[in-house]
């Protein structure tokens, strides 16, 4: 594969590894919350960030933490670990230009597009737009890479 293509795949690999790392840190953070008063923690965090607890998102955050149990936190941490492993495997495969990883990345990126587009249809925000645009660019790039690989194999 030429240099530009492998550079793009490596950039996507780094992005996927970063997502895996962030979710892994979030999972370990959930484990750190076990056996703690989460309602109190939510109140302290909302106050520390100078948020109004009556507003929508702080209220949702506080309500979610009030329903959290140690078992749920462990389960979420386990799911975060599994998601992270999938992202790390994908990143490894993309870094080493494995065809299976390109297909996996295309599928895992493409599966989110309808959900992201639905979210934008409910209400526009620049953050939603950025996620859709970035995901769409990655998916389109992977289509180009896979087509290039297919046509160069036929020649």
Q: What is the pLDDT along the chain (155 residues), one digit of tens a residue?
A: 566 668 999 999 999 999 999 999 999 999 999 998 888 888 898 999 999 989 988 999 888 888 889 999 999 999 999 999 999 999 999 999 999 999 999 999 999 999 999 999 999 999 999 999 999 999 999 999 999 888 876 65
In sequence order, the 6+-apart residues with CB closer than 8 A to the CB of 55 are: none
What region does 108 belong to: left with phi over 0, alpha with psi -120 to 50, or beta?
alpha
Are 145 and 9 in contact by the 8 Å Cβ rule? The answer is: yes
pLDDT at 14: 97
To which H or E segment does residue 121 belong?
helix 113-122
Query: Whole-prediction pTM value?
Result: 0.81
| Cα→Cα distances 23→5, 77, 137, 146, Å | 27, 9, 22, 28
Burial per residue of 74-93, b for 16 or more beta-carbon CB atoms within 10 angstroms, e otherwise? eebbeebbebbebbbbbbeb
Are 79 and 31 in contact by the 8 Å Cβ rule? The answer is: no
In sequence order, the 6+-apart residues with CB closer than 8 A to the CB of 21 are: 84
pLDDT at 151: 82
pLDDT at 2: 60
**Cα atoms found within 13 Å of the Cα of residue 84, Cβ hemisphere only:** 16
Nearest-angstrom CA–CA distance, 62 and 41: 9
| Residue at token pair 């087509």 | 147
pLDDT at 5: 60
Nearest-angstrom CA–CA distance, 153 and 99: 12
């Amino acid at each position: 594969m030429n240099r530009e293509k492998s550079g793009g795949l490596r950039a996507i690999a780094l992005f996927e590894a970063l997502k895996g790392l962030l979710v892994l840190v979030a999972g370990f953070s959930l484990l750190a919350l076990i056996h703690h008063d989460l309602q109190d923690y939510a109140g302290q965090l909302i106050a520390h960030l100078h948020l109004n607890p009556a507003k929508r998102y702080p209220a949702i955050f506080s309500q979610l933490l009030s329903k959290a149990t140690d078992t749920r936190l462990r389960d979420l941490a386990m799911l975060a670990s599994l998601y992270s492993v999938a992202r790390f495997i994908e990143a490894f495969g993309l870094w080493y230009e494995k065809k299976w990883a390109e297909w996996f990345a295309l599928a895992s990126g493409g599966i989110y597009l309808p959900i992201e587009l639905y979210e934008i249809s409910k209400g526009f925000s620049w953050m939603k737009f950025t996620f859709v645009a970035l995901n769409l660019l990655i998916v389109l790039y992977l289509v180009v890479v896979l087509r290039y690989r297919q046509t160069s194999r036929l020649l």
